[in-house]
Chain A
Amino acid sequence: MSINIDRPCGTFDRNYFQAKEIFRTPLRKALLILLLGSMYLLPYLTNDYGISILTIICAYSIGMLGLQIITGYCGQISIGHAAFMGIGMYTVGILQRHFGLSFWACLPLAGLVPMLIGMLFGIPALRIKGLYLAFATLAAHFVIVYVISNWRSVTNGTDGIRMNRPGPLWGIDFSADRNYYFLVLTATVLMVYLATNLTRTKLGRALVAVRDNDIAAEVMGINIAHTKILAFGIGCFFAGIAGALGGAYYEYVNVEWFGLDDSIWFLGFLVVGGFGSIFGAIAGAAVWKIMDELSTLVTPLAETFLGGAAFYASAAFSLVFYALIIIIFLVFEPRGIAHRWQMIKRSYRLHPFPY
């Protein structure tokens, strides 16, 4: 991971700083700037509907990055990720409603509160080796949803809380969707930057070491309990930020939005995107949102075909269809879209040789 194996032809490193660079040649740096620029220009090309999709993809990407750190890099299975996203959303909502804090003040807390709560649930499970984090997060999910649904005085129960978009900053009004998209995009770029750096540093290597061979890692000087707890904490931090940004887009947050299904889809679409890479996390988030949009198209189709039975078809559609896609990916392409993309790039580069 500290070596960039995917180096363009003809470039040689003269010192270790160059060896660690991800964008090695001037051409690649230019392409990166072009990509970022085009992402900022996209909202001018689409209508509000397109902007909403892009914003939610960005918010989901941040959440997926968090899960990628926990599961893809550190190998711990977390089935409660949507619940921590919900805690992030609710933190902002509660602070705005009861204390009147501005969005900017709430945002770091939206990351910290899920992190602390996550670590509270994660610590008993991470001291021991095995799948126990999966069960602990499953339990955490139910407990969190229960607390949020029933603590009416603070969270307004199942009625949800209205959230406010951030106040104007430097004259930019965020109640306009386009401006809010720029904010979310900037946050996503920042989070991707943080996550990529994480993989290149000492903690990133420790995460992969714990995933690959935790027995050996312990004997080789890595405190695996500490590493796992840290990974889980960082992942939940990302989830909380994702929740805050997504919730502020809809200006409303409700506990019904994050059920056990969503936690499982997080994990499943991370598999579809690909484990162990940043691109995989973003690809998984994009696929998820696109699937969501496709499933909203099913309802009118179902009504024409099935008549009165349509109302349950769309509910079943998302369950059956997403699950099938995830399972098919796991069986046939377990390393996900990211790996497939690497293969395509490689075949293009090596054409006409097979490998």
Chain B
Amino acid sequence: MEETLNAFVFGICNGGIYSLLAVSYVVIYKSTRVFPFSQAAVLILGAYIMWYCLIAWHLPIWLGFLITCSAGAILGIFIERAFMRRLVGQPILAPIVVTLCLMLLLRGVGILLGKGNIQGFGESFLPVGAWKIGFLHIPEIQVFGFVLCTGLIGALMLFYEKTRVGLAMRIVHEDHVMAQSLGLNVRRVFQYSWVISCVIASIAGMLLGNIQGVGLGLDANGLVAIAAVLFGGLESFAGAIIAGLAIGILQMLTIIYIAPLLPGETTMMIPFILLLLVLFLKPYGLFGLTRIERL
């Protein structure tokens, strides 16, 4: 019982990061209708850049944070300008293959940056230590991560609701052609989506690098977030948030209950089984929209 509750809390904290990643996928998918597999690898770059800033160059934390976010933004602008923009008008297969190859490209760049080593953070930049509330054993690092993620997602939702740019993005979510006929600059909205998504993914990478160690295994989290996105519905922010939390909890419960039964590394595999179940039972996800086709 204690273990389960502990797992729940731990899972929610982990799930916060998965939600953040899931939101980064949904941001791009809603705007451009292209599923950006490459964000799984942006994680790795974010983690490595933060590591360089903190450990190799000994910069203060806030500067490292700023540099990582800027690097994420520049990466987003670069990807959108250099690759995605030229693929407008091609069938859906082309952007998908490009994002998949970008994932591997960024992974390669990550190997070069990290000189092939998988390394820990040395010293974590978030407080290390744990709080004990009754029988719950909550590491501080996870809580800070969770709070940061919640803050970011909240800021993003406010951005969508309150600002004019957010409103423009929401219109583009509905229909590209209609938005263009209303005079909105759809290309700029695509650029904003990519920038937002890459910045979010870099920050998530930073947090994950701190928690799990900076290395190439981080993109497994990105792939698990894909399962979360599908579970929640490809076009729904609320779905992405809830599904991220759910998958975090599911992973922790897996460690307690299922891992003793099955050999090997089950925590990365169970979310994919969930994905297949979701496809079987409710393919559009919890909150997904079914599109009515016009003939």
The judgment on whether A and B are partners is: yes
- Judged by DSSP, the binding face of B is helix
Which residues from B are CB-within-8-Å of A252? none
Which residues from A are CB-within-8-Å of B97? 267-268, 271, 326, 330
**Distance of A215 Cα from B62 Cα, bound (Å):** 53
In chain B between 85 and 100, which residues have their CB closer than 8 angstroms to a CB of chain A?
A: 86-87, 90-94, 96-98, 100
A323 an interface residue at 8 Å Cβ cutoff? yes
Contact present for B96 and A327 (CB under 8 Å) = no
Contact present for A315 and B105 (CB under 8 Å) = no
Which residues from A are CB-within-8-Å of B263? 150, 152
B275 an interface residue at 8 Å Cβ cutoff? yes
**Distance of A354 Cα from B267 Cα, bound (Å):** 60
Q: CB within 8 A of B269: which of A146, A152, A313? A: A146
Contact A268:B226 (CB < 8 A) given known A121-B276, A312-B111, A319-B111: no
**Distance of A75 Cα from B94 Cα, bound (Å):** 11
Q: CB within 8 A of A324: which of B90, B105, B230, B268? A: B105
Which residues from B are CB-within-8-Å of A134? 35, 96
Smallest beta-carbon distance B262→chain A, Å = 7
B172 an interface residue at 8 Å Cβ cutoff? no
Contact present for B93 and A77 (CB under 8 Å) = yes
**Distance of A275 Cα from B223 Cα, bound (Å):** 27
Which residues from A are CB-within-8-Å of B279? 124-125, 132, 135-136
Nearest B residue to A126 via CB reads B279
Which residues from A are CB-within-8-Å of B96? 77, 131, 134
Contact present for A327 and B83 (CB under 8 Å) = yes
Nearest B residue to A326 via CB reads B101
Contact A331:B87 (CB < 8 A) given known A125-B279, A135-B230, A139-B272: yes
**Distance of A326 Cα from B108 Cα, bound (Å):** 14
Nearest B residue to A121 via CB reads B276
Contact present for A138 and B223 (CB under 8 Å) = yes
Number of interface residues of A (CB under 8 A): 50
**Distance of A313 Cα from B275 Cα, bound (Å):** 35
Smallest beta-carbon distance A281→chain B, Å = 15
A169 an interface residue at 8 Å Cβ cutoff? no
Contact present for B112 and A312 (CB under 8 Å) = yes
**Distance of A263 Cα from B76 Cα, bound (Å):** 25
Smallest beta-carbon distance A207→chain B, Å = 14
Which residues from A are CB-within-8-Å of B295? 215-216, 219
In chain B between 265 and 285, which residues have their CB closer than 8 angstroms to a CB of chain A?
A: 265-266, 268-269, 272-273, 275-276, 279-280, 283-284
Q: CB within 8 A of A124: which of B116, B226, B268, B276? A: B276
Which residues from B are CB-within-8-Å of A48? none
Which residues from B are CB-within-8-Å of A149? 264
Contact A320:B105 (CB < 8 A) given known A138-B226, A268-B97: yes
Q: CB within 8 A of A327: which of B93, B98, B115? A: B98
Contact present for A136 and B90 (CB under 8 Å) = no
Smallest beta-carbon distance A314→chain B, Å = 10
A334 an interface residue at 8 Å Cβ cutoff? yes
Nearest B residue to A120 via CB reads B276
Which residues from B are CB-within-8-Å of A216? 295
B107 an interface residue at 8 Å Cβ cutoff? yes
Which residues from B are CB-within-8-Å of A77? 93, 96
Contact present for B264 and A268 (CB under 8 Å) = no
In chain A between 123 and 146, which residues have their CB closer than 8 angstroms to a CB of chain B?
A: 124-125, 127-128, 131-132, 134-136, 138-140, 142-143, 146
B227 an interface residue at 8 Å Cβ cutoff? yes
Contact present for A323 and B116 (CB under 8 Å) = no
B109 an interface residue at 8 Å Cβ cutoff? yes
Which residues from B are CB-within-8-Å of A309? 115-116
Which residues from A are CB-within-8-Å of B2? none
Contact present for B101 and A327 (CB under 8 Å) = yes
A311 an interface residue at 8 Å Cβ cutoff? yes
A322 an interface residue at 8 Å Cβ cutoff? yes
Contact present for B226 and A131 (CB under 8 Å) = no
Smallest beta-carbon distance B275→chain A, Å = 4
Contact A311:B116 (CB < 8 A) given known A121-B276, A143-B276, A215-B295: yes
Q: Apart from A146-B265, A326-B97, A334-B90, what 18 extra A-B contacts exist at CB < 8 Å?
A: A124-B280, A135-B226, A136-B276, A143-B269, A143-B276, A146-B269, A215-B295, A261-B104, A264-B104, A267-B97, A268-B100, A268-B101, A309-B116, A319-B111, A323-B104, A323-B108, A327-B102, A334-B94
Report 27 cross-chain contacts, Cβ distance below 8 Å, ordered by A residue. Answer: A124-B283, A125-B279, A127-B283, A131-B92, A132-B279, A135-B230, A135-B275, A138-B272, A142-B269, A142-B272, A149-B264, A261-B104, A264-B104, A275-B93, A309-B116, A311-B116, A312-B116, A313-B112, A316-B116, A319-B107, A323-B105, A327-B83, A327-B101, A327-B105, A330-B97, A331-B83, A331-B87
Report A's interface with B, CB cutoff 8 A: 71, 75, 77, 79, 121, 124-125, 127-128, 131-132, 134-136, 138-140, 142-143, 146, 149-150, 152, 215-216, 219, 261, 264, 267-268, 271, 275, 309, 311-313, 315-320, 322-324, 326-327, 330-331, 334
4 pairs of A and B residues whose beta carbons are closest in the complex: A312-B116, A319-B108, A150-B264, A320-B108
